[in-house]
Chains A and B, each alone.
Chain A
Amino acid sequence: MKVLDEGIGKLIQPVDLDAFRKSNQSKPKQLIDKRMSEAEAVERFIHDGDYVGTELYGTVRCPMSLVNEIVRQGVKDLRMAGQGVTELDTLLAAKLVKALDITYIALEVYGVSSVLRREVESGRVETCVEWSNGAIAGRFKAAAMGVPFLPMRSMLGTDTFKYSAAKIVECPFTGKPICLIPALILDVGLIHVHRADMYGNAQIDGISGFAAEMARASKRLIVSAEEIISNDEIRKHPDKTVIPYFLVDAVVEAPFGSHPGEMCYAYERDEPQIKEWVEASKTEDGANEYLAKYIHDVKDHQEYLELIGVDRLEQLQAMVPGRS
């Protein structure tokens, strides 16, 4: 295939499919109780310099209890696939991110992320490689398929391509230019779900975002769940399983694990809390004070929830249509 153009962005995670296969081969296939705390899961499976991915997006179904624990333990020099609001903003504010495959980091209705601006404009985030949302999803899909790249008709003709690590080739079938996006194999994936069993079989309600692809693109996978259910329950509705257990390394029970974001049908997002972050994060001092109060000064997710308060959490549940 004739390469017509190459993005100048760095490929910040190598595409090593055979190492990925070996890693998958070595995962236990027996049914093991993988339940553990956030602290244990982060300590065992996330290391300085790792390439980490999070799902879903915005304020929705984000693995916040795991992200907060990463901040608490100060796991640093992370490379991350960046499409996020609360979770990426938090890790950036804690200065734990060194390189980004970025598609979108901002605060949606609240606009540009002050934290992203500070971290990138100061050069503390050393590398930003650009992608579209579809390209990042496609990169996970390629990894999930176990192939080195996928062709895609996004990014062609733009600076998004120029500053990516994609390539444009002459398609051997049509003769037309096509963009090839490299598989993105994560060292660690973090996914928050509605429910899982102790082995890691996981179910998601509502839209599935890119959970299916990202779970299958992760060498190590930490699943946090609102609720732990029995294996019998899983087997009653196998069509609901988005992530089968053998992909999973750790299962963390995390009620309100997406707070201050939401989980569809379970609880709504906590608008005052999100606004508090939007305001606090406008300055470095403000962001640090927020991280101190809500992460460093509480021992774990349970204490965080106590700080937020039962009344407020129950209100967020009651706001779900049909639950009040």
Chain B
Amino acid sequence: MAENGYNPTELLICTASRLVPDNTTAFIGTGIPMLAASLAQKMHAPNLVAVFEFGGVGAILDDLPLAVGERRTFHKAVAATGLADMVETAQRGFIEYGFLGGAQIDPYGNLNSTVIGDHDHPKVRLPGSGGGNDVGSHCWRTIAIMPHDQRRFVAKVDFITTPGYLSGPGAREAAGLPVDTGPYRVVTTLAVLGYHPDSKRMMLLATQPGVTIDDVLENTGFELLMADEIEEYPPPTDEELRILREDVDKDKLYI
């Protein structure tokens, strides 16, 4: 993709950024979600209310935060509160979008960021839930951002850290999770995916520029449903790339 003038990280940021509309609230974690939120604010969503789990509410993302607790997460913000308030705000239904990531994702959008292998004798000990489980439980719509390969897109995750649709339709509600919440999109370097409204299984919506449907299938470790029409997602625009490089990440911290 480099020949088209952008790298995979820039592609993920631009793709994710377009998914959050103006005048909505979004729970933002470290890394690509911060860049996507900042780009969205500078493009189409100046009043995207960025919420950071340790207390930043409604920051203007002039400068990129390096961490979810640092001062840039409440720069020109409307409030600086704390962790309990942020999770409770999501639990009360105020947070529209939440960004997630993980080492593994399954067809129902369940995410693993805890262990590879057995919990008590792990092959790889990963960081743990952090705010992931809270975001995946309470936000109305979650967007997972992942590199796309067979190791990550698996039929069964080793550990469900963060709930997707769990075992399928009705499972979230039966478990006691808030109704009408759940995974919305998966953004990868190969595709934009959603979930079938009835089966709640992951569904291919669009391929990234220059990527074929076969490329996506070859890199997915389970059967993907197909949308009726699979589009090619529009590539990052010159304006998005300019703002991303010259403004959002002018110090080249991430891209």
Known contacts A117-B124, A153-B138, A208-B81; A159/B161 CB under 8 A: yes
Segment 96-143 of A: residues with Cβ below 8 Å from B:
102-106, 108-109, 112-113, 116-117, 120-121, 123, 128, 130-135, 137-138, 141
Residues of B within 8 A of A128 (CB): 119, 125
Residues of B within 8 A of A106 (CB): 126-128
Is A24's beta carbon under 8 Å from chain B? no
Is A38's beta carbon under 8 Å from chain B? no
Give which listed residue, B87, B126, B175, contacts A133 with CB less than 8 A.
B87
Contact in complex: B114, A160 (CB < 8 Å): yes
Residues of B within 8 A of A177 (CB): 174-176
Interface of A is mostly: mixed
Nearest CB on A from B92, distance (A)? 10
Residues of A within 8 A of B160 (CB): 157-160
CA distance A74 to B39 in the complex (A): 47
Is A223's beta carbon under 8 Å from chain B? no
CA distance A113 to B130 in the complex (A): 14
Stretch at the interface among A28-36, A209-217, A228-236, A297-305: A209-217
Give which listed residue, B73, B82, B124, B129, contacts A103 with CB less than 8 A.
B129
Contact in complex: B176, A104 (CB < 8 Å): no
Contact in complex: B70, A160 (CB < 8 Å): no
Residues of B within 8 A of A133 (CB): 53, 83, 87, 129-131, 134
Contact in complex: A153, B137 (CB < 8 Å): yes
Segment 80-98 of B: residues with Cβ below 8 Å from A:
80-84, 87, 91
Is A248's beta carbon under 8 Å from chain B? no
Is B208's beta carbon under 8 Å from chain A? no
Residues of B within 8 A of A265 (CB): 71
Chain B contact patch, size range: 35 or more
Residues of A within 8 A of B68 (CB): 57-58, 108
Is B31's beta carbon under 8 Å from chain A? yes
Is A167's beta carbon under 8 Å from chain B? no
CA distance A41 to B177 in the complex (A): 44
Known contacts A108-B30, A108-B68, A160-B160; A207/B82 CB under 8 A: yes
Known contacts A132-B134, A133-B87, A207-B80; A105/B127 CB under 8 A: yes
Residues of A within 8 A of B54 (CB): 56-57, 60, 207, 209
Give which listed residue, A103, A121, A132, A134, contacts B125 with CB less than 8 A.
A121
Give which listed residue, B31, B73, B177, contacts A157 with CB less than 8 A.
B177
* A112, A130, A160 interface centre (most CB from chain B within 10 Å): A160
Q: Mark A144-182, 1 if CB is under 8 A from B, else 0.
A: 000000001111111110010000100000001111000
User: What 6 A-B pairs are tightest by C-beta distance, nearest first?
Assistant: A207-B55, A104-B130, A157-B175, A177-B176, A134-B87, A106-B127
